Amino acid sequence: MGRTLVEIEKISKIFPGVKALQNVGFNINTGEIHALIGENGAGKSTLIKILSGVYQPEAGGKITMNGKVLEELTPLESLRNGIVVIYQDFSLFPNLSVMENIALGHSVEKNDTLVSWKAMEAIAADALDQLGLILDFHVPLGELSVAKQQLVAIARALANNAKLLILDEPTSSLSKGEVKKLFEIMLSLKKRGIALLFISHKLDELFAVSDRFTVLRDGQYIGTYSEDELDDDQLISLMVGRKIEYTIYPKNKKEEPLLEIQNFSKKGNFQDINFTLHKGEILGLTGLVGAGRTEVAQAIFGLNPVDEGTMLLDGAPLVINTPDEAVKAGIAYVPENRLQEGLVLRKSIEDNISLSVLDSISANNGLVDLTLKRSLTEKWMDQLGIRPNNPQMLASKLSGGNQQRVVISKWLATEPRVLIVDEPTNGIDIGAKSEIHQLLRELAASGLGILVISSELPEILAIADRVAVMRHGRIITQMFCEGLNQEDIMSKAL
Amino acid sequence: MKSGVKKLIVSKEGILFCIFLFVFFLMSLLSPGRFLSWYNLQSMAYQLPEFGILALSMMIVIVTGGINLSLTYTATLSMIVGGMVMANISAAGGNGILAVLAGIVIMIGMASLCGVFNGFVVAYIGVTPMLATLGAMTLFEGISLNITKGGAISGFPFEFLMIGSGTVLGIPIPMILFILIIVGTWLFLERSKMGMSIYMIGCNPKVALYSGVRVKRIIFQTYLIASVLAAIAGVLMASRYNSAKESYGSSYLLQAVAASVLGGTNISGGEGKIAGTVIAVMILQVISSGLNIFGLNRYLTNVVMGGILIVVLTINFLTEKRSK
């Protein structure tokens, strides 16, 4: 094994309302393939963004590379130090040639004013050589297959003199053969002393090439293990962990159908989705990111109309093409990304809660009844215990838990029949999570049907009556939650 | 009550009003005889409304997160088309008042068409507002020039001139219209459900859409309403100049943007108060009239106005950055 290349010490990152990373620290060696794993929201992306200079860590954290402390890292500085990230979308220029894509970063890094085509050609040839690749230099990148584009991205990293190459879910859109080719290249890079940080959800792939594993969970460092210390099951249990014990609510079997989804299909999103949500029931919908969960939810809410399929509400067919139709039909959707899709951060609690019910708090002349607006806001703030108790507080200033309560209030104000919540406790502190769980259970008890999309299995097991597991756009299984454990679900989802 | 007064003074609008008073007194002190003369006050009272209405029209579009660069050409195209009809009826010996009514209806109708065009392209096709309305600006200007062949439409009935120059109880009619429009746009933007949706769309159209707001329709309607306001400003201009020409008011275009921003409207949308825009319009009017009285040439006036705008934008940017 090589020497230590990067030392990560006490890295924390706090976003409004959530601690994305807490005191994470581990080492990456030269010439190793180091897997970084954790569930969605464990903090992997945040850590990558800190390493690549996109985010600044909180004070007290330190990144050392080759014994040199990297302070106030910017994306350019990070690149100059040889840290290169290959994102899922590669961040390449599809309209430029292969050569330009490989060599451009190099000339930016050198601060060249003029482009020397000769030099570019040499750089690109050298990089492709190192990878043992034969590609036409002058083809626009966009004409290549995804796998080849990825290799170009790696060639660019080599041209940039990468010392630490970070691969974010590199295999997600590759065929089996392409994955094999990628792994060969990864191993050859490793031999040449480059450190690779490899992020993937696919355990078999992780075990195929990785030397060591670092596990993150809820923004915390769980541990670093060498490849021979662990097997699949141990890794899964480290990822899901023995986290805080949520209150497990009793499971009910409900009979009265509320929302029936029949044969929902949308090309490239999901196929043959069938399930029934009953009155007073919480149905969990889980699976890996990319399995198609959010797409199904958005299809029901009119944001992502289906190619085929029917939907019944109370037994009557329902066609929904836009969100306002969904709202009128009594369907509410709390999106996954609270900060970008759920809340208008620059506006007050009051403005946010009343946004979905402007019609019902306005007089016939179109003017909003401000007294009604305030009393409605106060009613929901009171019922859901939103703190601080100030309707004019800006949504951006609230904690994650209170922000989520505002979004839920906005929907409860519409008096929905069906509530869809996408990752309801994503980025919310633990105490507030339990309170959101309790709230959802109370709402179900009042007769709502609730569809909870969650990657967090303990959450599903705590609050859902039943769970549907998705993989690659299909529902693989539907199970009654009584007596299930996390591993039962995870094994279906992977 | 005391805290309410204090709040009012330290609010953005309160500060703006203090700036207005300061500028007004400064001009009065520097040129007491002429700035405070009845003639100058009167002429400001006639100029202010057309600029003010255009600024309010611009502002409501900016609050949606858009901009309307075809604003003044919407006003002139509609005044040219309506003005031709009015002049023809008048020349044929028709009733003056009927001619004026027909003319105004056509002006508003023409502006509505312009608004439908902009609104459709921006809201339903999804073209960036700046590009869509830049194209529309050239289009409307071109149509206008084709109609007028570069000249001016004139020969309006006497009754039409009364709109721009008449008074009721000593108050100029344009001023009365302006006040009505201030109240109307305030009710629309700051009190109606559509106005509240506009603010939310301007901040984050995705959240609005995800909340069941019909985002496209509201943006479309906003461009339509803004165009009707432009037509009203057009009526005032045509009446005051006693003619209609494509270039009238073109200097108001960027000044309308300037007044909105100076008045506290966020150029990227979602924030802005009617009162702020109105006070900003008054400030800009006082400065331009004042500089004019000092005999500063028109080009230097532009330098001063541009300078003020950049200073305000910089201050806004820095205070926003600091508050983050």
Query: For residue range A436-456, what is the model confidence (pLDDT) as tens digits?
Result: 999 999 999 999 999 999 988
From B187, B196, B211, residue closest to A410, measured CB to CB = B211
**Is the same domain home to A275 and A189?**
no
According to the model, what pLDDT value does residue B3 have? 60
Q: Is the Cα dihedral A50, A56, A62, A65 positive or negative?
A: positive
The answer to whether position B50 is within a domain reads no
Residue A251 DSSP code:
P
According to the model, what pLDDT value does residue A2 have? 75
Reported as a pLDDT band with limits 50, 70 and 90, residue B10 is low
Contacts of B203 in chain A (CB under 8 A): 344-347
pLDDT digit string, tens, across residues B282-322:
999 998 888 888 888 778 877 887 887 788 778 777 877 76
**Is the same domain home to B308 and B171?**
no
**Is the same domain home to B87 and B233?**
yes
Which of A443, A452, A445 minimizes the C-alpha distance to A414?
A443
**Is the same domain home to B153 and B292?**
no
The answer to whether position A169 is within a domain reads yes
| Angstrom distance (rounded) from CA A242 to CA A239 | 9
Count how many Cα atoms sit within 13 Å of the Cα of residue B268 in the half-sphere of its side chain. Answer: 7
**Is the same domain home to A215 and A362?**
no
| Angle subtended at Cα B45 by Cα B43 and Cα B50, rounded to the nearest 5 degrees | 100
B217: nearest CA in chain A?
A: A324
**Is the same domain home to B142 and B244?**
yes
Q: What is the mean pLDDT of residues A85-89?
A: 81
Contacts of B194 in chain A (CB under 8 A): 366
Better-scored residue on pLDDT, A14 or B63: B63
Whether A409 contacts A381, CB under 8 Å: yes
Which of B260, B220, B198 minimizes the C-alpha distance to B58?
B260
Whether B255 contacts B305, CB under 8 Å: yes
Cα→Cα distances A233→A42, A199, A483, Å: 18, 18, 19
- Domain finish residue from A240, A275, A303: A240
The answer to whether position B208 is within a domain reads yes
Domain limits for position A425 = 257-493
Better-scored residue on pLDDT, B62 or A2: B62
Longest CA–CA span in chain B (Å) reads 66
Q: What is the mean pLDDT of residues B121-141?
A: 96
B320: nearest CA in chain A?
A: A346
Q: Residue B207 and residue A343: Cβ atoms within 8 Å?
A: yes
Reported as a pLDDT band with limits 50, 70 and 90, residue A480 is very high
pLDDT digit string, tens, across residues B229-285:
999 999 999 999 999 999 998 889 988 999 999 898 998 999 999 999 999 999 999
Is the pLDDT confidence value at A458 over 70?
yes
Contacts of B213 in chain A (CB under 8 A): 324, 355, 358
SS3 A5: strand
What rounded mean pLDDT belongs to chain A?
88
Q: Which residues of A414-431 are buried (b: 16+ CB within 10 A; e: fewer)?
A: bebbbbbbbbbbbbbeee
- Domain finish residue from B205, B235, B250: B250
With helix as H, strand as E and coil as C, how does chain B read? CHHHHHHHHHCHHHHHHHHHHHHHHHHHHHCHHHHCCHHHHHHHHHHHHHHHHHHHHHHHHHHCCCCCCCHHHHHHHHHHHHHHHHHHHHHCCCCHHHHHHHHHHHHHHHHHHHHHHHHHHHHHHCCCHHHHHHHHHHHHHHHHHHHHCCCCECCCCHHHHHHHHCEECCEEHHHHHHHHHHHHHHHHHHHEHHHHHHHHHHHCHHHHHHCCCCHHHHHHHHHHHHHHHHHHHHHHHHHHHCCECCCCCCCHHHHHHHHHHHCCCCCCCCCCCHHHHHHHHHHHHHHHHHHHHCCCCHHHHHHHHHHHHHHHHHHHHHHHHHHC
- Number of residues that make up chain A: 494
CA B28 and chain centroid, separation: 26
**Is the same domain home to A306 and A345?**
yes
pLDDT digit string, tens, across residues B28-40:
888 878 888 888 8
The answer to whether position B42 is within a domain reads no
Q: Which residues of A165-193 are buried (b: 16+ CB within 10 A; e: fewer)?
A: bbbbbbbeebeeebbebbbebbeebbeee
| Angstrom distance (rounded) from CA A455 to CA A426 | 9
The C-alpha of A133 sits at a distance from chain B's nearest C-alpha, in angstroms, of: 42
**Is the same domain home to B245 and B147?**
yes
According to the model, what pLDDT value does residue B7 have? 66
Count how many Cα atoms sit within 13 Å of the Cα of residue B83 in the half-sphere of its side chain. Answer: 31
Is the pLDDT confidence value at A3 over 80?
yes
**Is the same domain home to B246 and B257?**
no
| Angstrom distance (rounded) from CA A487 to CA A493 | 10
Task: Name the pairing type of β-strands A164-168 and A220-226.
Answer: unpaired
| Angle subtended at Cα A34 by Cα A33 and Cα A38, rounded to the nearest 5 degrees | 140
Is the pLDDT confidence value at A262 over 90?
yes
Tally of domains in chain B: 2
Contacts of B207 in chain A (CB under 8 A): 340-344, 355
How many CB atoms are closer than 10 A to CB B319?
Answer: 10
Q: CATH code at A437?
A: 3.40.50.300
| Angle subtended at Cα A288 by Cα A284 and Cα A294, rounded to the nearest 5 degrees | 60
Q: Residue B212 and residue A356: Cβ atoms within 8 Å?
A: yes
The answer to whether position A91 is within a domain reads yes
**ipTM, two decimals:** 0.87
**Is the same domain home to B99 and B117?**
yes
According to the model, what pLDDT value does residue B186 have? 97
Domain limits for position B271 = 251-317
Tally of domains in chain A: 2
Is the pLDDT confidence value at B1 over 50?
no
| Angstrom distance (rounded) from CA A86 to CA B211 | 35
For a pLDDT cut of 90, what percent of chain B falls above it? 65
- Domain finish residue from B205, B224, B250: B250
Reported as a pLDDT band with limits 50, 70 and 90, residue A38 is confident
The answer to whether position B57 is within a domain reads no
Better-scored residue on pLDDT, A180 or B7: A180
The answer to whether position B53 is within a domain reads no
**pTM, rounded to two decimals:** 0.79
According to the model, what pLDDT value does residue B265 have? 93
The answer to whether position A249 is within a domain reads no
pLDDT digit string, tens, across residues B149-183:
989 999 999 999 999 988 898 889 999 999 999 99
The C-alpha of B171 sits at a distance from chain A's nearest C-alpha, in angstroms, of: 30
Task: Name the pairing type of β-strands B171-172 and A308-313.
Answer: unpaired
* Phi, psi (deg, nearest 5) at residue B158: -55, -40
The answer to whether position A252 is within a domain reads no
Helix axes B71-91, B96-119, angle to 10 degrees: 150
List A residues 13-42 in contact with B (Cβ-Cβ < 8 A).
none
Mutate to test the interface with A, among B183, B207, B213, B268 (most CBs of A within 10 A): B207
| Angstrom distance (rounded) from CA B115 to CA B71 | 9
The answer to whether position A471 is within a domain reads yes
The answer to whether position B41 is within a domain reads no
pLDDT digit string, tens, across residues A193-220:
999 999 887 778 888 899 999 999 888 8
What is the token pair recorded at A321? 């093409």
Q: Residue B193 and residue A414: Cβ atoms within 8 Å?
A: no
DSSP A165-183: EEEESTTTT--HHHHHHHH
**Is the same domain home to B83 and B229?**
yes
Contacts of B208 in chain A (CB under 8 A): 344, 355
- Domain finish residue from A193, A211, A240: A240
Query: Which residues, in sequence order, are CB contacts of A298 under 8 Å at separation 6+?
Result: A304, A333
Residue A340 DSSP code:
I
**Is the same domain home to B132 and B211?**
yes
Q: Residue B192 and residue A366: Cβ atoms within 8 Å?
A: yes
According to the model, what pLDDT value does residue A112 have? 65
**Is the same domain home to A353 and A450?**
yes
According to the model, what pLDDT value does residue A138 have? 87
**Is the same domain home to A60 and A198?**
yes
A350: nearest CA in chain B?
A: B196
Q: What is the mean pLDDT of residues B1-19?
A: 72
- Domain finish residue from A240, A269, A288: A240
**Is the same domain home to B181 and B198?**
yes
Residue recorded with tokens 């679900």: A489
**Is the same domain home to B121 and B146?**
yes
What rounded mean pLDDT belongs to chain B?
91
Q: What share of chain A is helix, strand, coil (3-state, %, to 5)?
A: 35, 25, 35
pLDDT digit string, tens, across residues A350-380:
999 999 999 999 999 999 999 999 999 999 9
pLDDT digit string, tens, across residues A40-80:
668 888 899 999 998 999 888 899 999 889 888 888 888 88
According to the model, what pLDDT value does residue B8 have? 65
- A335 close to B (CB below 8 A): yes
In A267-399, which ranges are E strands? 270-278, 282-286, 308-313, 316-317, 331-334
What is the token pair recorded at A22? 């807490």
Is the pLDDT confidence value at B9 over 70?
no
Contacts of A323 in chain B (CB under 8 A): 209-212
For a pLDDT cut of 90, what percent of chain A falls above it? 48
The answer to whether position A251 is within a domain reads no
| Angstrom distance (rounded) from CA A204 to CA A201 | 9
According to the model, what pLDDT value does residue A374 have? 95
| Angstrom distance (rounded) from CA B286 to CA B20 | 8
Q: Residue A367 and residue B187: Cβ atoms within 8 Å?
A: yes
Reported as a pLDDT band with limits 50, 70 and 90, residue A19 is confident
SS3 A451: strand
Q: How far apart are the first and last CA of chain B?
A: 30
* Phi, psi (deg, nearest 5) at residue B43: -70, -35
**Is the same domain home to B167 and B96?**
yes
The answer to whether position B19 is within a domain reads no
The answer to whether position B74 is within a domain reads yes
Reported as a pLDDT band with limits 50, 70 and 90, residue B117 is very high
Residue A234 belongs to what H/E stretch?
helix A232-240
The answer to whether position A246 is within a domain reads no
B189: nearest CA in chain A?
A: A367
